[in-house]
Amino acid sequence: MREIKKSAKLDNVLYDVRGPVVEEAERMEAAGARVLKLNIGNPAPFDFRAPEEMVFDMSRQLVDCEGYSSAKGLFSARKAIMQYAQLKHIQGVDVDDVYTGNGVSELINLSMLALLDNGDEVLVPSPDYPLWTACVTLAGGTPVHYVCDEQAEWYPDMDDIRKKVTSRTKALVIINPNNPTGSLYPREVLQELVDIAREHNLIIFSDEIYDRIVMDGLEHVSIASMAPDVFCVTFSGLSKSHMVAGYRIGWMVLSGDKARAHDYILGVNMLCNMRMCSNVPAQSIVQTALGGHQSVQGYIVPGGRVYEQREYVYNALNDIPGVTAVKPKAGFYIFPKLDVKKFNITDDEKFTLDLLHEKRLLVVHGGGFNWKKPDHFRVVYLPRIEVLGEAMRDLGDFLSRYRQA
């Protein structure tokens, strides 16, 4: 009988945040091993809880959430998101410019499907959150990776971006705050990105899911607020800022020159209608979440869990011979660099598998974020410090003896 094969569209798609190394970890767990999962930014397993007010309000509204909402989402949710966009100084946004989704992930996929024809190019950062590259590829486009510079706080290399713009380039993707590096882009960097998009008539897609998890007294600036004449799509949600990743509630906001994007918007609307709507119970608590006490604020100041865990893991990694790391300014992640000569590393995925087998530590190799050199890996610093301490001691012990064959 004929073999049933996967689509050829998946040949160049990867999502190693949940990939082969994770599958090996799951096999090990099924055999009785205990694995510390530092591979995914999922707050709940590390004892982060949703604000009680949100849980209470959702429970009170469940009976009213049994049917579909409008395709774009509940009016109350979209109104709250519109007002949040106004607080971020994004101009010209009304309720009809707001779309809710089953997490930002669904909306990234939808936004690429609505835009791209075969061969269209999208500029995507390297390292990136791999869903961006995957969704560009699945939509028939070609992801073109521009380099972020580790020596310059992981900011985008503007010269590299300019060199990679062609007549087929449709859009520029920005991940700010950045996953996996934790970089936060200041206004002067954002202004250069706006200038490039304006010069080459590019759409800006700005992934800002970590915009409320910013430390050190720094400010997150939405790039759309600096580009009222450029068509922008801004993504955010509650998964990280309110520790409700499982609720699957994200959104995107359209701003700038929407008249130029009229046909594209029709395509977005069509795809939204086809999936009926996003998770209605989760939509029902957006207004509560954005209008009430922002509980994450207590985590990201000195003494707060996320802040102190960031401080600990940054120092602990840099204390390991052969490891260096740039301090993240936002989010849950750090992207340390390995001395490949010291450890003889030529295959970063093998490094993560070896670490998993010996120390039961699960991390993601840099190649999983479309980083082309075998010299980085991502660590999630959501566990409590005592757990991180054991993990960093295990990592240090592993690297004290590790030489890749």
Could you read off the pLDDT of 95-154 as tens digits, one per residue? 999 999 999 999 999 999 999 999 999 999 999 999 999 999 999 999 999 999 999 999
pLDDT at 20: 83
- Residue 116 is classified by DSSP as -
18 band by pLDDT with thresholds 50, 70 and 90: low
User: Any idea what the Cα angle at residue 211 is, between residues 84 and 169, rounded to 5°?
Assistant: 95
- pLDDT confidence of residue 176: 97
Please name the residue ranges forming H helices in 172-285. 187-200, 262-274, 280-283
Q: Which of 78-82, 232-236, 242-246, 345-349 has the lowest mean pLDDT?
A: 242-246
Of how many residues is the chain composed?
405
CB 188 within 8 A of CB 195: no
Average pLDDT, the chain: 93
Structure tokens at 196: 């490039």
- pLDDT of 1 reads 83
Cβ atoms of 225 and 174 closer than 8 Å: no
How much is the pLDDT for 15? 66
- List, for residues 169-206, the tens digit of each pLDDT value: 999 999 999 999 999 999 999 999 999 999 999 999 99
Cα-Cα-Cα-Cα dihedral of 278, 284, 289, 292, to 10°?
160
Q: How far is CA 124 from CA 136, 144, 238, 239, in A?
A: 9, 6, 24, 23
List the one residue out of 85, 101, 105, 104 whose CA is nearest residue 93: 85
Q: In angstroms, what CA-CA distances link 68 with 65, 71, 304? A: 8, 8, 39
